[in-house]
Amino acid sequence: MQPVAENSKISPSLVFYLVIGMQIGIGILGFQRQIAKDAGYDAWISVLAAGLSVHVFIWMIYKITETADGDLVQVHEYIFGKKIAKLFSSLYILYACLVCITVLRTFIEIIQVWMFRDLSPFWFSLGYLILCIYIVFGGFRTVTGIAFFSIILPSYLIFAFAYPLPFSDITNIQPIFTHSFKEMTKAYYDMALTFSGFETLLFFYPFIKEPQKSKKWAHLAVLTTTIIYTVLTLLTFSYFAEKQLQETIWPTLNMWKIVELPFVERFEYIGIANWNLIILPNVCIPLWVASRLCKQIFHIRQQLGVIAVSIVCLVASSFMNTRNQILFLGEFSGKMSFLFIFVYIPFLLIAVMIAKKVKHDD
């Protein structure tokens, strides 16, 4: 496999934006309702626990990639050999497509509910995917730049959360520890899926200059998203009564409805418009991953791979028109993310350690 050219690599600090760019997306608009269903207003503890546990998986990913000295394809080759590695690695093309379709179709549903009821999923997906193709054609450094701007430019939205504060009551979360371990675990499961996205480190690891120095930035990114999700959870629980939250599908957007500014009446429209930029890395990075896997496994040009994967995403997102279909898509995508992160990554770590010992003994 050809080594990555030095001028195609990114600085270690930019890993911070790539990880956050994947972790913050559609999920942040409505995760509070789901975890409150699982563990009531004790769910903020599960949010904190899920965020902290991600640091363990970040450590695992770096251990795996350092041992195999490469990305997931090279990890599979290190463990299984080239032929079996291609079979295992090709499955992640489907996984990357699934992530793209889920993000895109869920965002279209939000636009349809809040802004344009008659919006065509096909035409919106087509326009959005053309933009994503253009970005991925620019190479990984361009994708990284988009991740950077998707965090920096909309960061002013954080100040909008100051508006619900006067109407919030933190005592809503009391008393704490009133739910069972099983309920807390279920909330942890749902929240862990919201934190997913950091696993793309397995694919872009070879594109990092001095990857050892990027570890602290990856951990800092996870710590930042953990703080954001935990604070937002506490704010939501303080603002909404528990029964009221169960009737609110997108609590984050609902909190923005009370924002009053002289130049805009419906601030949630500003938020949704900004989400076009925020979810760009959620689509561009998986597109880049899928196209790079096509290049590594099937030896086709990455540009052709991007177009092929985008066509699959376009067709799939256009055929999902009902709420039940979109919910099923989100649940299925969540289960696949869970298997990849919580089952397959630990398996890879064990397999890599065994392979290293066998190769060393030989």
Phi and psi, residue 347, nearest 5°: -60, -45
- The label of the residue with tokens 């898509």 reads 329
pLDDT tens, 40-55?
A: 898 999 999 999 999 9
Asked if the model's pLDDT at residue 338 lies above 90, the reply is: no
Give per-residue pLDDT as tens, 166-186. 888 888 888 888 888 898 999
Residue 45 is encoded by which pair of tokens?
């503890």
Residue 70's pLDDT band, with cuts at 50, 70 and 90, is: confident
Dihedral (C-alpha) 70, 131, 317, 95: value to the nearest 10 degrees?
A: 0
The per-residue pLDDT for range 200-215, each reduced to its tens digit, is 999 999 999 989 999 9
Stated pTM of the model: 0.92
Query: What backbone torsions phi and psi does residue 264 show, to the nearest 5 degrees?
Result: -150, 135
Q: Determine the pLDDT at residue 2.
A: 67
Q: What structural domains and CATH numbers belong to the chain? A: 8-361 (1.20.1740.10)
Residue 293 neighbours by CB under 8 Å, 6+ apart: 73, 89, 90, 92, 93, 96, 203, 305
Q: What is the reported pLDDT for 175?
A: 84
- Residues of the chain with pLDDT > 70, as a percent, come to 99
pLDDT tens digits, one per residue of 230-267: 999 999 999 998 888 888 889 999 998 888 878 778 88
Distance CA 233, CA 41 (A): 9
What is the pLDDT, as a whole number, of residue 147?
A: 94
d(CA 277, CA 164): 24
- Give tens-digit pLDDT for 76-93: 999 888 888 888 889 999
Rg (CA), the chain: 21
Q: Cα 267 vs. chain centroid, distance in angstroms? A: 25
Question: 32 is written with which tokens?
Answer: 């509070």
> Exposed, middle or buried: residue 32 (CB in 10 Å: 0-12, 13-18, 19+)?
buried
Those residues with Cβ within 8 angstroms of residue 87's Cβ, 6 or more apart along the chain or in another chain: none
As a whole number of angstroms, the distance between CA 124 and CA 276 comes to: 11
CA distance 186 to 36: 10
Q: Give the integer Cα–Cα distance in Å for 227 and 195.
A: 12
Q: How confident is the prediction for the chain on average, in pLDDT?
A: 90
* Nearest alpha carbon to residue 145 among 273, 4, 11: 11
Q: 143: which residues sit within 8 A by CB, 6+ positions away? A: 135, 136, 281, 284, 285, 288
